[in-house]
Structure 1
């Protein structure tokens, strides 16, 4: 989780619902138009709130975008495939990768408001956004590493498996493969990247010796 959450004041249930509606509108518009093509006014209209309401929760577009980054960082790398305790075997890793591929196929290999797409637009924009994005990716890597550690502790992976490197390889395959797939409108880059990452993890299977 990024540090922006700690600065959100305590809200009433109604206030939280309004804030969530604004964030959801921003997520949907960014998925369609990108960050540059989405204005605060666009979000206000889509969320059906007043100008005073949107600026009550987000005092600038940058604050709104950072909140979107926090929200997407707290989501799972592949929606619908929970990470915690779910990827602790080779079959589960394969199903998780297949779900990522299927999601892109269903989306026509088009962009989404994901942490990866936000990084593509904002990674070099300002230091605060870059740090938020970095923290989000580190969270995702940590979840992957936790799953791989469960496999190693159970004896599925060799004791010498470098879990940090393996989790980073898997995350990089997901993000890099998704970027190329969305750019080329072709599922093959994502499939190839994830297959290569899974093969690398399999090379550390305990029974490979």
Structure 2
């Protein structure tokens, strides 16, 4: 378990290590990120790293996963908690694109970790799987809100639509990265939301 940072300076140092490690993982993957590269990027000593993360690299990467999941969730708020109208879905879509593209993040940290976690750390893989389930569940809840409001047909499969949307986000980011443009992600999201529009009622 990570050591508790008892001072504000300690908390800032710990968070700085987590954020720098997250950026390295996005750029080089888990395999390309080492404690030495983290030390160099954060100007910290080996003793500092093990003070805050006594479990070493595995613990640090798990903390990065927790942080990235919180960042992603907060970036979608408040709209992801209130997807009960077409307007709220459009705001959510815009927030998500801004989170990735506006910050120059041409990959999804959670998606990137998911593709590597299974072969590196079963505990990390379980964490990522749960984060994806929670994200999918929030989107499915939004579809169900639309159904309850009579905006979307009640026979629509909310979980299936939510899964398609998540897949579109991950695939759209893969295509946006080499293009250096948001349009592949935006196109993927538009196509993913199309099934929701197809089951719209006249309400």
Using the size of structure 1 for normalisation, the TM-score is 0.79
2:99 aligned with 1:97? no
Deviations 1:144-192 (A, max 9, x none): 1222222222222222222111211111111122123225545443233
- 1:46 aligned to 2:41? yes
**2:57 equivalent among 42, 61, 70:** 61
Give, in whole Å, the separation in 2 of the partners of 1:142 and 1:13.
37
Q: What is the match of residue 66 of structure 2?
A: 70
Distance 1:113 1:147 in 2: 21
In 2, the alpha carbon distance for the partners of 1:171 and 1:135 equals 14
Unaligned runs of at least 5 residues, structure 2: none
Q: Which has the higher helix share?
A: 2
Question: Is the contact between residue 176 and residue 182 of structure 2 (CA under 8 Å) also seen in structure 1?
Answer: yes
Larger RCO (alpha carbons 8 Å, 6+ apart): 1
Which sits farther off after the overlay, 98-107 or 153-162? Answer: 98-107
Q: Secondary structure at the match of 2:71?
A: coil
Structure 1, unpaired ranges of 5+? 1-6
Change over 3 Å in CA distance of 1:80–1:47 after alignment to 2 = farther
Contact 1:73 1:139 in 2 (8 A): no
Aligned residue for 1:193?
A: 188
Distance 1:13 1:86, change over 3 A: farther
Name 1:175's counterpart in structure 2: 170
Q: Contact conserved, 2:80 with 2:92, CA < 8 A, in 1?
A: no
- Structure 1: distance between partners of 2:96 and 2:80: 16
Q: Name the counterpart of 1:12.
A: 6
Q: How far apart, CA to CA, are the structure 2 residues paired with 1:113 and 1:144?
A: 17
**What root-mean-square deviation, in Å, do the aligned CA atoms of Structure 1 and Structure 2 show?**
2.8
Q: Distance in 1 between matches of 2:195 and 2:70?
A: 27
